[in-house]
Amino acid sequence: MTTRPIDRNDLAALYAECAAALDDGEYERWPAFFTEDCSYVVTTKENLERGWPIALLSCESRGMLLDRVFAVQKTLFYVPRVQRRLVGGARLVGAGDDGAHARASFAVFETLVGEHTTLFAAGRSLDVVRYEGDALKFAKRTCVLDSSLVPNSLPFPI
Amino acid sequence: MTTRPIDRNDLAALYAECAAALDDGEYERWPAFFTEDCSYVVTTKENLERGWPIALLSCESRGMLLDRVFAVQKTLFYVPRVQRRLVGGARLVGAGDDGAHARASFAVFETLVGEHTTLFAAGRSLDVVRYEGDALKFAKRTCVLDSSLVPNSLPFPI
Amino acid sequence: MTTRPIDRNDLAALYAECAAALDDGEYERWPAFFTEDCSYVVTTKENLERGWPIALLSCESRGMLLDRVFAVQKTLFYVPRVQRRLVGGARLVGAGDDGAHARASFAVFETLVGEHTTLFAAGRSLDVVRYEGDALKFAKRTCVLDSSLVPNSLPFPI
Amino acid sequence: MTHKLNVPNLSAAAWPEEGLTRVPYFLYDDPAVYALEQERIFRGRSWNYVALAAEVPAAGDFARSYVGDTPVIVARDKDGDVQVFVNRCPHRGAQLCQSWSGNAKAFTCPYHQWTFDLKGRLRGVPLRKGVNGLGGMPADFDPARHGLQRLAVTVRGGVVFASFADDVPGFAEYLGPSNLAYFDRVFDGRGLRVLGKQRQRISANWKHVIENIRDPYHATLLHTFFVTFRLWRADQDYAMKLDATGGNAVQFIQKVDRGPTEATRETTSRHADVRLADPRVVEAVPEFADGKSGAMQTIWPNLIVQQTLNSLATRHAVPHGPGEFELHWTFFGYEDDPPEMVERRLRHANLYGPAGLVSADDSEVLNVVQLGATKGPAGRAVVELGGAGTADAEGMVNETMIRGFYKHYRQIMGI
Amino acid sequence: MTHKLNVPNLSAAAWPEEGLTRVPYFLYDDPAVYALEQERIFRGRSWNYVALAAEVPAAGDFARSYVGDTPVIVARDKDGDVQVFVNRCPHRGAQLCQSWSGNAKAFTCPYHQWTFDLKGRLRGVPLRKGVNGLGGMPADFDPARHGLQRLAVTVRGGVVFASFADDVPGFAEYLGPSNLAYFDRVFDGRGLRVLGKQRQRISANWKHVIENIRDPYHATLLHTFFVTFRLWRADQDYAMKLDATGGNAVQFIQKVDRGPTEATRETTSRHADVRLADPRVVEAVPEFADGKSGAMQTIWPNLIVQQTLNSLATRHAVPHGPGEFELHWTFFGYEDDPPEMVERRLRHANLYGPAGLVSADDSEVLNVVQLGATKGPAGRAVVELGGAGTADAEGMVNETMIRGFYKHYRQIMGI
Amino acid sequence: MTHKLNVPNLSAAAWPEEGLTRVPYFLYDDPAVYALEQERIFRGRSWNYVALAAEVPAAGDFARSYVGDTPVIVARDKDGDVQVFVNRCPHRGAQLCQSWSGNAKAFTCPYHQWTFDLKGRLRGVPLRKGVNGLGGMPADFDPARHGLQRLAVTVRGGVVFASFADDVPGFAEYLGPSNLAYFDRVFDGRGLRVLGKQRQRISANWKHVIENIRDPYHATLLHTFFVTFRLWRADQDYAMKLDATGGNAVQFIQKVDRGPTEATRETTSRHADVRLADPRVVEAVPEFADGKSGAMQTIWPNLIVQQTLNSLATRHAVPHGPGEFELHWTFFGYEDDPPEMVERRLRHANLYGPAGLVSADDSEVLNVVQLGATKGPAGRAVVELGGAGTADAEGMVNETMIRGFYKHYRQIMGI
Ligand code: FES
Ligand code: FES
Ligand code: FES
Ligand SMILES: [Fe+3]
Ligand SMILES: [Fe+3]
Ligand SMILES: [Fe+3]
């Protein structure tokens, strides 16, 4: 893999663009922020700390991301809503064979049709990023929710 | 108009300073972040998507910003409160004749005197920025609230 | 004191790392973000505006930070929880004999074991930073909570 | 004291003996009063505003709304009639329609896909006859008895009202002649154009906003913006007309250009020589033949019709528990509005809604009245301006319309 | 109407006269009904799921759980027995245990450090005899009378149930023979391995999720993912078995490979030729000797046992007030699972839980049913698919299990 | 069980038959009990702490506060007297004063600008006589009958108390001699200097914090910081004095320097040889003539007076519904404090309040007691330390002050 150093602006842009694609409902743009052999996981602090392998959502390939997007857009039933993500504290914390290791904190706000905006979740992400050509991508992304308790349901990725 | 490229630090500073002026109650500093011929609009996702032209707040000139500030400081009645804005995901998304196009996400927290801090709103802004001299300014700023439902009232700009 | 100009990336990193240490429960890492002769204060907008000197938490030396960490880790009783901080709008606003003056806004989210994530606090920090060797540190940090009313208790620093 | 323990005695004896010059505060936070209001007022013999017909112009168009706090669907059927249904599937109760608006050929329940046509008739029960001879509905299952719950509907001047009652009087009779005339003044048969929505949830009982509109006294005292920029004055010509029940009332104002009087001196702003930097926000042109610059109407139980400057809006007060309500504003104009009139209506909207330079005052003060009235010992409002009666009146220093509202309220609630 | 005022008449007369083909909606939001459910159902003669024994494998291991909405501690004592206690200190009521799980030699209350052994016996009262002859407990204070409140416990196949009642029947009798057989099919005596938890709080009454599971009708209609990818079809072999009370029920399915029939045409997806980009998420291997590809069981009052594809889970429906409940999913496998089976179980979990490609539909629809059923006028569900009875049945178009649930519910609640 | 259904039988029979050694848990979450407390305790014959007089030093100074959960305004009038009013406009009930503190010549209601002087008298009704002969108040409207609701006020040693009752005994009699002496010890007539506020909202019933203060037993067991740094020990000299009603109580401690005893061994920290890196946070100088290092007093119903190290504070427990209360801490010193004493008071405040190295323990444990006591089956606390009586006592292992509190509580509540 490339040892090209990660430009902080690229990292910030990756987080911002990925969040915006989901917030703006442009789910079809989301898989392209990941490498082909990516892993994408949403789990809880509880599962992580207990060493339990179950995740709320666990994709082992970009194909699974595409299937998730298909479900979100075509098969899942959910009450109409919009989410809004704020990502903070993005930073590089090391590097491994798989790419550069990054961390960030996030809060997700949710608005159901006709309702107030509410806090949906907060947590942190443990990420591995690397360049594919000029584009920085997630090779691995693990979103860890602080709460064990999901408010109603989680139809979308974090 | 100038084609001078937008410095990302200037964009970040514009968002930060504009938010801070409102959060700190220094409303009189707020109009200066806008060009003279600015447009400033707060609307909802519902109005935007339905193509309805109504906005919660709609200023067609810096003069109207000044009038709004006058009202906030001198004529409006509201329960004492403080707001706090977090802006995230600021990014440039293109350019037009009117300036550079930028986007950001925001959350606004509100604290009424004697009460807990609550989530007031989340949403995104669709902005056009350009330099006036050395100062980057909003030529156009449209804040789109995710929720159709304002908690109580919205005496201040977003 | 050094007049070395503050690198914005260092400032962003200081805020991010300090927040992450607390969020991740690595309290023992927290005092190192401060100078030996630091002052660290958490107070409320109410106390600040009334000119009342009381703070929720007031440390006059790094020693007091260490004692606070000892209490958090060894003596305080509190229901298990995790917090998550989002810091925004970090900016330099001037300089004094004591270092460079910085400001930022923050929101703190809290998750009690088995419960939803909730908004714990929002506010701003009034900070003085300076380099010790290569490391940027807080010489003074005053976190001002927007609300006078703490939800339950505040066992950790902000 | 018993009502503080949430066991109000809803007989007439619970009302203060002074009568309509007093309003007891337990009306604003008692859950049992609230539940009874839903039954007797909103699901009783009332015409409840639900939408403008222009929100559902074409067959299949629908919009969600409320009758009291009951969610309903407003839909245009293929005959061009507007239908109003309870938003509840007759099978096992799922909310049928989640979207706030749209166009549909039929309504299909998300749970088991029972399908209802635009008149609310049950048209499809998947696998109704079972599969391979197993299961399905009993042979005597009669779809005609399992349609959506339909409300009675009346449309006048492009405004849609609905009722749970079959025996509610016709709309003209319901409104009474003087109020009907003012309703018809705005809704004069011209096509309406929806300009958009503003919605807010206010921490106050729904009745506070009706009282607020029926209270001209506050306008020159609370709304400093109006007074500062000389849009309103205490001695302007002002008249109020109530129907016989008191449930409907209209008030109208005429902009006057006189010098200061004693009354304006009592209410003068501290900012006497301030001018707007961009006065377009309040520049209006006369648009009604009667020359009246504004008229505000409240229609029993929870509709407000606003005509002020060139701003037109319905305001629908939707109860949301005893201590909260939502105010849904629908701004509109006429189909034949020239562009500059549309622009004016949009600009004037800066005065109204949750961010309104004037209306934000009201949103805030409603909150403050709810807090004051419901926290602390039992108490009651004093409503004596203009006396103790509920007759038509002139001048702004008069609470006759508030007394009129509670005259009808007591009648309907049996209190 | 009285129940809308929160004074339900909980006699049998409150039930619609049609009987079990109707379920009145006040059961879903009335606080008094909710409180009575806690007393009569959850603290009555029931076996309440609390945990898998594998969550507390070693002496001193503990985990928090709920019986109804009562917080309890599940602990393994030194004799290897599983104990269940109310999570409340007998001194002044502090919640004894805050952590969600852990290992402890004893439970020490945070407030005054009273200490209880793993059988719940009071073992230590600090300064019990006072200090310097002052204070302390009276001489006749008997620690044996101040232990933790212990529940009756039964463990079968590695699953832990608890009861507030001393006279609840044995678990085998409680479940009835047909349901016991299916329980034993999954919990066959092999050691269980916990794979993890998913938890969600849903804005619906807890009974909605039990109805949802007992409702095969919705599966081919709501779960578009299943239908689109041909994992489920309306005409598959399907059978339901209830115990004599109706409180326990199991349903099982057999994957069939036939061409389209009339029933599948009625429920066909619009996306007929779509294929999964990475189909591993649904690739299962048969694992039970009876060849059944799936079985779902509900055990009175609030446990669901799921076996679908290679995913195994208990789902514990924890009431959280009338309008909310939590669903706690414990995914598990067997200790002797080969690695590729573990992988499969983990992958299939993408279908279930709050983010499940299938189960998210249910979470959302429960919310929608709660809203629809409880907002608006009084009403009742129509539960007529398959007739009016509560007998075992075949085929998916049948609500017999819902009727069975309410047969038992009425019996226990006296309504 | 009936009280779990929110219908407590508030006769003496509802109390456990053991008497004051038991406290039933429905007192902590029943809305009807809560409402009755507001009427009988806080709006009854009690002296309710509202502020320090030093918060309103000059004429026109005001501050908001609470009597029970009733919002009140505390104001200094032009005669120098402190006045306490219900924060409610007598017109239509708006909360008169929104700001938390300030200085005003008069109070003007935001809604219609009725104006009240600093004694609460109605001084201005805008447009009272109407305009142009139209409207206005009736001729017989008597402003003297429409002033603010004033409470009885007593000020002692710079502390302000208010009462809804006219017939409450004088403050000295109310407190009783032994408690009055300790009150006067801190509030000795010197001018007070407000150092600031700390406020927290705690998810517990307000009575829990009163019990907590009246419970010396927990101090050496819960507060590890105290024990670790040898600021507190179980065998220190300790005495408690109650007034005849039980409603008021004071306890005082004397720092002792002895070696370990059996009692300290039972409560010793695991961190025996730890030293503070910066011990200034606990370095105190003696400041009271009696040599007592600390005294804590609770004054019926909801005031706590704290003197520990050199930290002085009032703690006002403001009920906020059955399951929540706010604790408002006002830290103060004396006007004649030298700078280093002010510094010490500020530093010692690190031990108290929501972030206090000691008090955070209490905030958290109150939450835990509320959860434990109110979730689950009906139950009651065991309050037997030191026996069953309510007399003065010595030593820390004694719950006499808790029993004393409920002796008075039962008397006032009629339970
Ligand atoms: S609930 Fe609507 S179809 Fe079943
Ligand atoms: S409450 Fe548990 S030891 Fe006192
Ligand atoms: S409510 Fe205060 S003046 Fe009318
Ligand atoms: Fe108004
Ligand atoms: Fe399902
Ligand atoms: Fe304590």
pLDDT at residue F312, as a whole number: 98
- Model confidence over F167-214: pLDDT tens digits? 999 999 999 999 999 999 999 999 999 999 999 999 999 999 999 999
Q: Is the pLDDT of residue D256 over 60?
A: no
The closest alpha carbon to F13, from C52, F2, F92, belongs to: F2
ipTM passes above 0.85: yes
Q: Is the pLDDT of residue E7 over 50?
A: no
How sure is the predictor about D206, in pLDDT bands with cuts at 50, 70 and 90? Answer: very high
pLDDT at residue F230, as a whole number: 80
The closest alpha carbon to D242, from D255, D251, D234, D232, belongs to: D251
Q: State both tokens at A132.
A: 């594919």
pLDDT at residue D271, as a whole number: 66
Give, using CA atoms, the residue closest to atom 1 of ligand 3. Answer: F92
Q: State both tokens at A156.
A: 């979308």
Residues of B in contact with C149 (CB under 8 A): 114-116
The closest alpha carbon to C41, from E27, F349, F228, belongs to: F349
Strand order in the sheet with D159-163: D48-52, D159-163, D152-156
pLDDT at residue D274, as a whole number: 86
Mean pLDDT, residues C136-144: 98
**Pairing status of strand E294-299 against strand E303-308:** antiparallel
Torsional sign, CA D65, D67, D72, D73:
negative
Residues of A in contact with D64 (CB under 8 A): 114
pLDDT at residue E235, as a whole number: 82
How sure is the predictor about D227, in pLDDT bands with cuts at 50, 70 and 90? Answer: confident
Is the Cβ pair D99, A113 closer than 8 Å?
yes
Regarding the beta carbon of F105 and ligand 3, being less than 6 Å apart is answered: no
- Model confidence over E300-345: pLDDT tens digits? 999 999 999 999 999 999 999 999 999 999 999 999 999 999 999 9
Polymer length of chain B: 158
Least CB–CB distance from F196: residue in C53, C59, C75: C53
Using a 10 angstrom Cβ sphere, with 0-12 exposed, 13-18 middle and 19 or more buried, the burial of residue E275 is exposed
Question: What is the SS3 assignment for D351?
Answer: helix
- Model confidence over F154-167: pLDDT tens digits? 999 999 999 999 99
Does residue C38 contact residue C138 with C-beta atoms inside 8 Å?
A: yes
**Residues 135-194, chain F: which have Cβ within 8 Å of C?**
194
- Which of D109, D122, D146 maximizes ligand 1 atoms within 8 Å of its Cβ, making it the mutation to test the pocket? D109
Alpha-carbon distance A39 to A46, whole Å?
20
Question: In chain B, pLDDT over 70 holds for what percent of residues?
Answer: 98
pLDDT at residue D401, as a whole number: 98
Question: What is the SS3 assignment for F254?
Answer: strand
Is the Cβ pair D100, A80 closer than 8 Å?
yes
Q: Is the pLDDT of residue E30 over 80?
A: yes
Based on C-alpha coordinates, what's the Rg of chain E? 23
pLDDT at residue E265, as a whole number: 66
Each residue's pLDDT, cut to its tens digit, for chain B (158 residues) gives: 457 899 999 999 999 999 999 999 999 999 999 999 999 999 999 999 999 999 999 999 999 999 999 999 999 999 999 999 999 999 999 999 999 999 999 999 999 999 999 999 999 999 999 999 999 999 999 999 999 999 999 999 99
Burial readout D199-232 (b: 16 or more C-beta within 10 A, e: otherwise): bbbbbbbbbbbbbbbbbbbbbbbbbbbbbbbebb
Q: Which residue of B has its CA nearest to C148?
A: B114
Distance from CA of E69 to the nearest CA of F (A): 7
Alpha-carbon distance C121 to B118, whole Å?
8
Regarding the beta carbon of E94 and ligand 2, being less than 6 Å apart is answered: yes
How sure is the predictor about A119, in pLDDT bands with cuts at 50, 70 and 90? Answer: very high
pLDDT at residue F14, as a whole number: 84
Q: Report CA(E374)–ligand 1 centroid distance (Å).
A: 15
Does residue D62 contact residue D102 with C-beta atoms inside 8 Å?
A: yes
Q: Report CA(F213)–ligand 2 centroid distance (Å).
A: 14
For residue D169, what are the contacts with CB-CB under 8 A and spacing of at least 6? D45
> What's the angle, vertex CA F195, arms to CA F192 and CA F197, rounded to 5?
115
How sure is the predictor about F354, in pLDDT bands with cuts at 50, 70 and 90? Answer: very high
- Residue ranges with CB less than 5 Å from ion ligand 6: F 362
Question: In chain F, pLDDT over 90 holds for what percent of residues?
Answer: 87
pLDDT at residue D233, as a whole number: 78
Q: Report CA(D405)–ligand 3 centroid distance (Å).
A: 18
Query: How far, rounded to the nearest angstrom, does the alpha carbon of residue F307 sit from its chain's CA centroid?
Result: 14
Residues of A in contact with B123 (CB under 8 A): 84
Mean pLDDT, residues F91-96: 98
Q: Is the pLDDT of residue D22 over 90?
A: yes
pLDDT at residue E259, as a whole number: 61
Residue type, A145: L
Q: Is the pLDDT of residue D94 over 50?
A: yes
Q: Which helix (H) or strand (E) holds F206?
A: helix F206-213
Mean pLDDT, residues C67-75: 97
Q: Is the pLDDT of residue F252 over 90?
A: yes
Regarding the beta carbon of E110 and ligand 2, being less than 6 Å apart is answered: no
For residue D338, what are the contacts with CB-CB under 8 A and spacing of at least 6? none
Name the one residue in this structure whose structure tokens are 């009338």: E322
Mean pLDDT, residues D335-354: 98
pLDDT at residue D230, as a whole number: 81
Q: State both tokens at D216.
A: 């001209």
- Model confidence over A24-44: pLDDT tens digits? 999 999 999 999 999 999 999
Is the Cβ pair F360, C153 closer than 8 Å?
yes
Query: How far, rounded to the nearest angstrom, does the alpha carbon of residue D284 sit from its chain's CA centroid?
Result: 25
Residue D87 vs residues B67, D108, D112, E377: alpha-carbon distances, Å: 43, 12, 15, 11
- Model confidence over C99-122: pLDDT tens digits? 999 999 999 999 999 999 999 999
Does residue F13 contact residue F268 with C-beta atoms inside 8 Å?
A: no
Does residue E336 contact residue E342 with C-beta atoms inside 8 Å?
A: no
pTM: 0.96
Regarding the beta carbon of E91 and ligand 2, being less than 6 Å apart is answered: yes
Q: Which residue of D has its CA nearest to E386?
A: D135
Residues of C in contact with B119 (CB under 8 A): 119
Q: Report CA(E337)–ligand 5 centroid distance (Å).
A: 27
Regarding the beta carbon of E114 and ligand 2, being less than 6 Å apart is answered: yes
Mean pLDDT, residues F325-331: 98
Q: State both tokens at D157.
A: 């001047």
Q: Is the pLDDT of residue C2 over 80?
A: no
How sure is the predictor about E260, in pLDDT bands with cuts at 50, 70 and 90? Answer: low
Question: In chain E, pLDDT over 90 holds for what percent of residues?
Answer: 87
- Model confidence over E139-183: pLDDT tens digits? 999 999 999 999 999 999 999 999 999 999 999 999 999 999 999
How many C-beta atoms surround the C-beta of residue F276 within 10 A?
Answer: 18
Q: Is the pLDDT of residue F254 over 80?
A: no
Give, using CA atoms, the residue closest to atom 3 of ligand 1. Answer: D112
Q: What is the dihedral of CA D402, D405, D406, D409, to 10 degrees?
A: -160
- Model confidence over B72-102: pLDDT tens digits? 999 999 999 999 999 999 999 999 999 999 9
pLDDT at residue A82, as a whole number: 98
Question: In chain D, how many H helices and how many E strands?
Answer: 10, 20
pLDDT at residue F264, as a whole number: 66
Does residue D251 contact residue D240 with C-beta atoms inside 8 Å?
A: yes
How sure is the predictor about D232, in pLDDT bands with cuts at 50, 70 and 90? Answer: confident
Is the Cβ pair D195, B153 closer than 8 Å?
no
Least CB–CB distance from D382: residue in F69, F134, F146: F146
The closest alpha carbon to D318, from D214, D200, D404, belongs to: D200
Regarding the beta carbon of F128 and ligand 3, being less than 6 Å apart is answered: no
Question: What is the SS3 assignment for D64?
Answer: strand
Phi and psi of D252, rounded to 5°? -140, 150
Alpha-carbon distance A107 to A88, whole Å?
9
For residue F322, what are the contacts with CB-CB under 8 A and spacing of at least 6? F28, F29, F30, F31, F33, F34, F205
Alpha-carbon distance D319 to D68, whole Å?
6
Mean pLDDT, residues F269-274: 70
